[in-house]
Amino acid sequence: MAKITIFLVGVWLLGSWSYLSKPEYPTYKDPKQSIDTRVNDLMSRMTLEEKVGQMLQTERLVATPDSVKKYFIGSLMSGGGSLPAPQASAQTWIHMVNSFQRGALSTRLGIPMLYGIDAVHGHNIVYKATIFPHNIGLGATRDPDLVKRIGVATALELRATGIPYTFAPCIAVCRDPRWGRCYESYSEDPKLVQEMAQIISGLQGEIPDNLPKGVPYMGGKDKVLACAKHFLGDGGTTNGTDEGNTVISWDDLMRIHLPGYPVSISQGVGTIMISYSSLNGVKMHSNRDLITGLLKNTLNFKGFVISDFEGIDRMTTPYRINYTQYVGIAVNAGIDMFMVPSNYTAFLDGVTELVKNKVIPMSRIDDAVKRILWVKFMMGLFENPLADYSFVKYLGIQEHRELAKEAVRKSLVLLKNSESAGKPLLPLPKRVPKILVAGSHADNLGYQCGGWTVEWLGLNGNDELKGTTILSAIKNTVDPETEVIYKLNPDVEYIKSNEFSYAIVVVGEHPYAEWHGDSGNLTIPYPGPETITNVCGVIKCVVVVISGRPVVIEPYLASIDALVAAWLPGSEGQGVADVLFGDYGFTGKLPRTWFRTVDQLPMNVGHPNYNPLFPFGFGLTTNSTKAIYSA
C-alpha cells in the first residue's frame, strides 16, 4: 500500500512539474478573448518605456529593425517621396515593411508596429499605382458610391505593398481657394464633404449590423485603417494661409467644419489627425477642449488621435524651443500617437521625464496606449503582423484604372460650350482632317496628377508614372485618319498657316503641396495665358484647365469657345478624351464657387453679395454620342 501511495505521489509531482514548467500563454495573444480583455492584459505587462514607445510614429528613413526593437516603436511611416528605392516594386515595399515588423515582433512582448502612408488619391507615391483624381475632382462627381469604390481599390493597392494604414481622407471644408491644400478638400459645402466621407467605408469596410456604430472597425486583410483629417477648421484659415489661424464663432465652427467628423466616426474611422492650424489663436495641437472635450468625450471617438507630421515642432516659436514643454502640452491635450519623423529620442525621453515628474499623469499615457492597442487588435495585427504577398497582383491593375477613368469622366465640369452655326463645340467630332493640341499640361503626367504624387510636391514629366496623358488619350480616341499635332505654345502665325479644324488647349497649375501652394493671385502660370490667347484668338478652341482649385479665367473667357474644369485627374487621361469626344456626357458639377477676381475671396455659396463667375453646383451637360457612332 505504501509503495502504491509513493508511486501515485510521484506521478502527481511529475505532472505538476510538467504543468508548472509549461510556458505561460498570455491572454493578450488569445484571439478568442475580447479586445478589451486582451488590451487590459497586455497593458498590465508593459513598462513605462514600452508604453511611451507605442505613442511614437517615426519616419522609415531614421529607423532600423534594431531601433524599432530597442525603443519599442509603435508605428512607422513614409512621408511624401519616402521610398525604399526608386521605382520600388510592390515586393520591395513588402520586404521593407516586414523587416521593420520583425524588429517589433522580436521585442519582449512582441507588439506589432503599424505602418502608415499618405495614400490620398490612390497609393500615390508608389510606382505603377493607380492615381485617382484628387478630392476636389471627386467632389465634382457628386457620387458617394464611386468614392467608396475608390476606397476599396486604394485599400487593395496599399495591401499590395504591405501597408495597412493611410492618412486619408481629408475631410476639410476649404473656404478659400488661396489655400495650398484646397484640392485635398471635396468641397466648400460641409454637406457634400459629409457625403464624400463614404470613402472610409471603402477603405476600412462596412461595419456589420451586429456591431455598434462609432466603434473603430476594419473588415479584413484586404482593408486598411483610415484617418479623418485635419481636426478642426483647417480649411477656414484667414486668407487661406496654410497652418494659419481660423477666426470663427462656435456656431459657424460646428456648422461648417465639424459635420464630417461625426459621419466619419459613425463609419468606424480608426484614427483622426490633428490640424497644424490654430483656432481663434489657439494651436489645435494644444487644444484640450476640442481634442479631449469635443472629440473624445462629446463625439465619443474611441480610436486614437494622431498628430500631424512634426506637429509638436510646429507649436514652438522659435522652432523646437522648449520642445519638452510642448510635448507635455500636446499629450495632455489628448493626442495619442505622435508623428516625429526625426530626433525621436527627444520625444521618448521628454514624455518619460514628464510622466516621472507628474506633469503628464499616468492615466493619460494609459488612455493613449489603450486606444492604440485596441486599434491594433481590432485590425488583426497581432494575428497577421506580416504582409501578405498574395496582394501584390492588385497594384495598378486594369480594373482599378477603369475605375479611375470613370472617376475622371464624372469629375469633368463643363463651364462653357458656345454654339457655332447652331451647334455647340462639344462633343468634338472625331473625324476631321487636322487637330491642334497645345498647352503645357497636354503631355505631362506629373502635371496631370498634381501634388502628393511620388514626391510630396509632385512631378514634372512622364518618367516616374504609369498612365495615359491627355495628348495620348486624344490620339487614341480620334479617327485613324485624323492628324493630331502637338505644340506646347504655338504662335499666331503657326496656327494661321495650318488648316486646323479646331484646337484643344490644356493648361493649368504646376504641382504643389501644403504651403508651397498658397497663392494670393491664383493665376495660370506662363505660358498658359499666352497659349490660350494665341490659339483661341485664331480658331475654335476648347480649353481644359488642370488645377487644384478655381483659377483666374475671366480675362480669357470671351475668346474661349468651350471651357472644361478637369481638376487634377490623375493617371488616367483617357477619361478626359472620353468625354471631350462624346463617348460619355458631361455630368460634373462645381464642388466650389468659381470666382471672378481674387478680390472677391473668400466667397462661398450663401455669402452676401454672392457674384461668382460660375456658382457652386454649376455644370453644363451633354449627351453621349456612342449610340450615334454605333448606328
Residues in Cβ contact with 378 at an 8 Å cutoff, skipping those fewer than 6 apart: 35, 216, 217, 218, 270
Q: For residue 416, give the H/E element and its range.
A: strand 413-417
Which of 260, 267, 261 lies closest to 214 in space, CA to CA? 267
Domains in the chain (CATH in brackets) are 34-394 (3.20.20.300), 412-628 (3.40.50.1700)
Looking at the DSSP bridge assignments, the partners of residue 544 are: 506, 564
Catalytically annotated residue among 184, 310, 336, 514: 514
* Nearest-10 Cα torsion for 354, 77, 258, 169: -170
Q: Which residues of the chain have pLDDT under 70?
A: 1-23, 627-631
pLDDT score for 23: 57
Alpha carbon separation from 482 to 184, 358, 433, 438, 478 (Å, rounded): 38, 76, 5, 16, 6
Burial class (CB in 10 A: 0-12, 13-18, 19+), 156: buried
pLDDT score for 345: 97
Looking at the DSSP bridge assignments, the partners of residue 77 are: 59, 116
For residue 252, the Cα-to-chain-centroid distance in whole angstroms is: 25
Q: What's the pTM value of the predicted model, to 2 decimals?
A: 0.95
Q: Is residue 483 annotated as part of the catalytic site, yes or no?
A: no
Rounded CA separation 478/276 (Å): 47
pLDDT score for 320: 80
Catalytically annotated residue among 308, 336, 406, 443: 308
Alpha carbon separation from 300 to 32, 167, 213, 295, 489 (Å, rounded): 26, 21, 11, 6, 56
Residues in Cβ contact with 232 at an 8 Å cutoff, skipping those fewer than 6 apart: 253, 257, 258, 261, 275, 279, 284, 290, 294
pLDDT score for 4: 46
User: Using an 8 Å Cβ cutoff, are 575 and 408 in contact?
Assistant: yes
pLDDT score for 617: 98
Q: Is residue 455 annotated as part of the catalytic site, yes or no?
A: no
3-state class percentages of the chain: helix first, strand second, coil last, to nearest 5: 40, 15, 45
Grid coordinates standing for 374?
A: 485596441
User: Using an 8 Å Cβ cutoff, are 170 and 257 in contact?
Assistant: no
